[in-house]
Structure 1
Amino acid sequence: MDTCIESTKKAEITMRLSEFEMPPMQDVLLVGKKAPIGPEAARRMVDILSPEQYEIIGVDHAAIEAIVIRKVLLNMLPQEKLVTLILEEGGKIANESMIIKAQVNIILQVSKSIDL
């Protein structure tokens, strides 16, 4: 019996963006180039609050210097795709002096069909 498996994969992504406040940690922080804290201070902060849970990614953007992102999100989606999406949406509201926090919910959908 010849079986053929067809597979499709989709990702549904929802983001919530708001100004940085205490407590500071969300899924993502966008650090502006002239923000009150820079990427290294953000690294120290997240390492104190949640050791080994976040990654700092330097980016090439007009207003944003770095993204602080939960590592678990990078396990769900390729870094390049996730960073591009975050910069695309966050870049619309961010300026150089801001720190923006973002809540990112990723729902993966997988559907497969097989020949019987």
Structure 2
Amino acid sequence: MENHMGSSRKAEVVMRFSEFEMPPMQDVLIVGRKAPIGPEAARRMVEVVSPGQYEIIKVEDSKVEALVIRKILLNMLKKEKIIDLIMEEGGKVANESMIIKVQMNITFQVSKSIDL
């Protein structure tokens, strides 16, 4: 995919295979403004299987209407930081008619020096 200026665009593909869940939920859903189901319907869908585990967050974006985020992620990092991270990367692939599922792993790394 080279253009006339000599630069190229590449996509790295990472596939994760896991057991199918009903409904197929992930850590985050990015709901486009013209998606087949809106954020409230997405929230109701996840409430059936995982009551009280997801929060709906409306966002100011031309393509994305809302994020449906697992509350446990919001306990690990500040809500604004998670939203910024998701929108920075997800906003590049989302369009207004899509619902994108996101797998988000947060790992804390701690290093301490102790007296011996």
Common fold: TM-score over 0.5: yes
1:43 matched residue in structure 2: 43
Deviating beyond 4 angstroms after TM superposition, the runs of 4 or more aligned structure 1 residues are: none
> Partner of 1:107: helix, strand, or coil?
coil
Q: Quick check: 2:23–2:49 contact (8 Å CA) kept in 1?
A: no
RMSD: 2.1
In structure 1, the gaps of 5 or more residues are: 1-15
Indicate yes or no: 2:101 matched with 1:101. Answer: yes
Residues 3-37 of structure 1 show CA distances to partners (whole Å, capped at 9, x for unaligned) of xxxxxxxxxxxxx79xxxx6321000000000001
1:78 matched residue in structure 2: 78
Higher relative contact order (CA 8 A, sep 6+): 1
Q: How many residues align?
A: 98
1:4 matched residue in structure 2: none
- Greater strand proportion: 1
Residues 73-110 of structure 1 show CA distances to partners (whole Å, capped at 9, x for unaligned) of 11111111011000010000000000000000110011
In structure 2, the gaps of 5 or more residues are: 1-13, 16-21
Mapping of 1:16-95 within 5 angstroms?
23-95=23-95
> Partner of 1:57: helix, strand, or coil?
strand
What code does the residue aligned with 2:66 have?
Answer: A
What code does the residue aligned with 1:59 have?
Answer: V
Once the two structures are TM-superposed, the CA of residue 56 in structure 1 deviates from its matched residue by: 0.4
Identical amino acids, percent of aligned pairs: 72
